[in-house]
Structure 1
Amino acid sequence: MVARFLLIVTLFVSTIAQNQQGTTVTPVRYALILNELAKVTSGRAALQAKVAQYKENYDLLVRKSASAKAACRCTGDSTVAFTAHLDKDITVLGVDQPVPFDNVTLNEGNAYDARHAQFRAPFNGTYQFFASLTNNAGYTLAASFMLNGSPVIKIRTANDNQFHTATNGLLLHMRKGDDLWVQHAHSISDSNRLYHGEGLLTTFSGYIVSKD
């Protein structure tokens, strides 16, 4: 296109020079200039049309990407998951006391608070939790998964001459700000003891399954 434009300029300058010198410019030369000018104009219009089409396609992709992102319910940058362990043996666990899972090995999203042994939902959505409690031989313990202060499900170890581990889990819907923890069961006779087993036997974990 640049070469064609330079050709038109050359022809135009030559034509002006011939006019100034009194030389007759043939219709053929004028026709050639007009033809080349038309080609350049047409090429520019085609290029502008392509640019406009590319911009329209780009805007469409941006809108589709924004729509897909808004509709996505995957965790993505909203990952929530935690695992915590008992850091030491518990010899006296108070009535209604939260089990102090204070050795946190994973806390994506920082939703688990080790100070209060409590998980707080950062989003409305479906969550899953698991807890394992272990007792020394000859002892037993009862506990409950608590949602905002109300028991949801219970967990209880056995009582004989061997170590015992009891595990339970649940899947539930939580709203943003809801709290869930594992608590020593109220008014159940047990040994008030927990065995941490080098931090690998008494554990509490959970994660978000899907956001609303």
Structure 2
Amino acid sequence: MKFNSRNNSKKLSRNIVLSLCVIGGLFTSCSSDDDNGSGGNAVVTPPTYQFERNGIGTVSYGGQTSRIQMGNEFVTALKDNTKTELELDGMFTNTGNYFTGIGLNDSGKNLRSKTAASSDYFSANSTDANAIKADFDGWIANQVNDVFPNWNTDAVAGTAGKIQEAGGGSTRYVNAKGLEYNQAINKALIGALMTDQMLNNYLS
């Protein structure tokens, strides 16, 4: 029994030493990903991206770029209490020349047509697609008709108006139940337009 116990101890010691050597070798053989010393393969970010094969463009994303710019202007306009429902609707549908960005009014693109419009989920489901678009129409109307008239009113339960974040933070403009329509629209565009198009149309 003593002989076996001594053998087992030696094997255990040998295994521990071997394991430590292997782990030490792994640590010493790894080099920093940030080390691009002489001869390293440094990645240089180009000022613009070109997706080309044999000098011919293979990717078209002008429509997506236009809609992102439209979305930025539209969401900003939702916090301008001088805007009318006609103007905000016009920004959602790109009718009426309400954008200031170069080429947006004449781009032939708009936010509404690609909202809840992916091939996977909505091409054969106009009922849900129309219901989602109707939500946007309602939020726009309510921002103009409920929130804008109470822009300088302190919001309380049951009354739309402004409310400041605790500790002197930014001022929010909410409906009678505390909902920020501009944020509802902003976040819904991220899901029903951007994410839906990316995952359920282009990448599906």
- Whichever structure has more strand as a proportion of its residues is 1
Q: Given the two structures, how large is their TM-score scaled by the length of structure 2?
A: 0.21
Q: Which structure has the highest helix share of the two?
A: 2
